[in-house]
Amino acid sequence: MPGKTSAPNTPRITKFTNCRLVRGSSLVEQDLWIDSLTGKILKDQEAFYELHLSPDEIIDLGGRILAPGLIDTQLNGAQGFDFSVPCATKDEYDQGLRLVNQGLARTGPPFPWPRRNNPHPLDGAESLGAHVEGPFISPGRNGIHKPEVLRSAQTYDDLLHCYGASNLAPPPQHTSPIKMITAAPEVGNMMAQIPHITDTGIIYSIGHSDATYEQAISATHAGARMITHLFNAMRPFYHRNPGVFGLLGQSERRRPFYGVIADGIHLHPTSIKIAYNAHPEGLVLVTDAMRLCGLPDGVYEWTNGERIVKTGARLTLEGSDKIAGSSATLIECVNNFRRWSGASTADAINAATAVPARLLGLEKVKGCLDAGADADLVVLGESDDPYSGPTLTVDQVWKFGVKIHDADKVTAVAV
Ligand code: ZN
């Protein structure tokens, strides 16, 4: 039972009232009941009339928004910990992962690394799987991936050798933490490997790729369901050859999901708006954040021996203007996206909740407020920023029915 127990004084049944719930493309005034024992959202009528449960706690949210926990499908690290740097021991890795997850709990639970069998609410954010970016990517579209580590796969054995056979075992043996692989379909003989990858249950995502429109279409026919950070590290849109971006003009059935880094640095707001208008149901907000998130400005050692310059949210490779990931939070991306795209508040939130949950095949479990789904919630306040306009803030984070972050309390303590 995933959410079983929590802190000793945690109330079992909590009822949120005077709140607006994200329901489809709308915000609906409605109560929500959750159970910290099962970690699930309750069916309110049933809880009251059939199960004879009454709330142990009633929380008046004063009209604030209650949304599902946020899901980030592209995260390289945080809190000074980097997923791409090998650890000396498993303990060291687990400790780093815990640090990341606890830090992320302040901005709404996400995606990244190995999912534990019995995640505990107080561990912070939950890891739903690993997104492995590379090394089978285009040398010309490598971004800050070091050219020396890039590879080209001719056969499936090349993939097994790189990722490890147990990580690519087909279901039901597939218990690997790998949930998604980003690779360039035109590199080597990758196109022929896509069906083998998707047969294991792993999502194949086109990224760091110089694929033409035709090659990108072939990749979707082979099973690609996602585009990694659309526009960044790929052949640009050209009117005679729209490249990977052209997939958004495909028929309903073939259009893949696509990640968008709405940090104000990676993409022009209008590019995001154009993509969203072309395929609104597929847009997945991602941060692509890395370990320098939250650290002060300065020059930092990078994993490949080079150095990264951090200036505010902007991260570049020293001596060049190459963008080196981001340090934005997911709620900042939601706010930017809402401002730039014209999406409703609910749909802006959906791009970081319901849509990634659908991509991951977790639509009834995560990213929604339906009865039976995990009680992972964020309470969103709304302030009026004099420069940026209405801005959502993460006021509270709940995991499996237990409150794990309360910004009001943090402020109170700080004062
Ligand atoms: Zn990338």
Q: List, for residues 179-210, the tens digit of each pLDDT value.
A: 999 999 999 999 999 999 999 999 999 999 99
Ligand 1 centre distance from Cα of residue 143 (Å): 7
CA distance 207 to 131: 12
Q: Which amino acid, residue 11?
A: P
* Residues lower than pLDDT 70 in the chain: 1-9, 107-119, 173-174, 294, 303-304, 410-415
CA of 300 to the centre of ligand 1 (A): 19
Q: For residue range 4-13, what is the model confidence (pLDDT) as tens digits? A: 444 556 788 9
Please say if 263 is a catalytic residue. no
Res 113: pLDDT: 38
Closest CA to 133 of 110, 162, 105: 162
Distance of CA 212 to the CA centre of its chain: 27
Q: What is residue 40's three-state secondary structure?
A: strand
Q: Rounded CA gap, 179 and 158, in Å?
A: 19
What pLDDT shows up at residue 96?
A: 85
Estimate the crossing angle of helix 269-278 against helix 330-341, to 10 degrees: 80
Cα of 251 vs its chain's centroid, Å: 25
Going from the C-alpha of 162 to that of each of 107, 156, 246, the distances in angstroms are 34, 10, 30
Please state the three-class secondary structure of 332-374 as a single string.
HHHHHHHHHHCCCHHHHHHCCCHHHHHHCCCCCCCCCCCCCCE
Q: Which residues of 308-335 are buried (b: 16+ CB within 10 A; e: fewer)?
A: bbbeeebbbbeeeeebbbbbbbbbbbbb
The closest of 255, 136, 233, 257 to 190, measured between CA atoms, is 136
Determine which one of 210, 288, 374, 376 is catalytic.
288
- Pairing label, strands 20-23, 26-29: antiparallel
pLDDT of residue 6: 46
CA-based torsion, 224, 228, 233, 235: positive or negative: positive
What distance in angstroms lies between residue 180's CA and the mean position of ligand 1's atoms? 13
Q: What is the pTM of this model?
A: 0.91
pLDDT of residue 415: 35
Q: How far apart are CA 188 and CA 185, in angstroms?
A: 8
Ligand 1 geometric centre to CA of 342 (Å): 26
Q: How far is the CA of 245 from the centre of ligand 1 (A)?
A: 16
> Going from the N-terminus, what domains does the chain have, and what CATH number goes with each?
13-68+370-414 (2.30.40.10), 77-359 (3.20.20.140)
pLDDT per residue over 66-119, tens digit each?
999 999 999 988 777 888 777 888 888 888 888 888 878 776 654 443 334 456
Report the alpha-carbon distance of residue 267 to residue 272 in Å, rounded: 7
User: Cα 230 to chain center, whole Å?
Assistant: 14
pLDDT at 360: 96
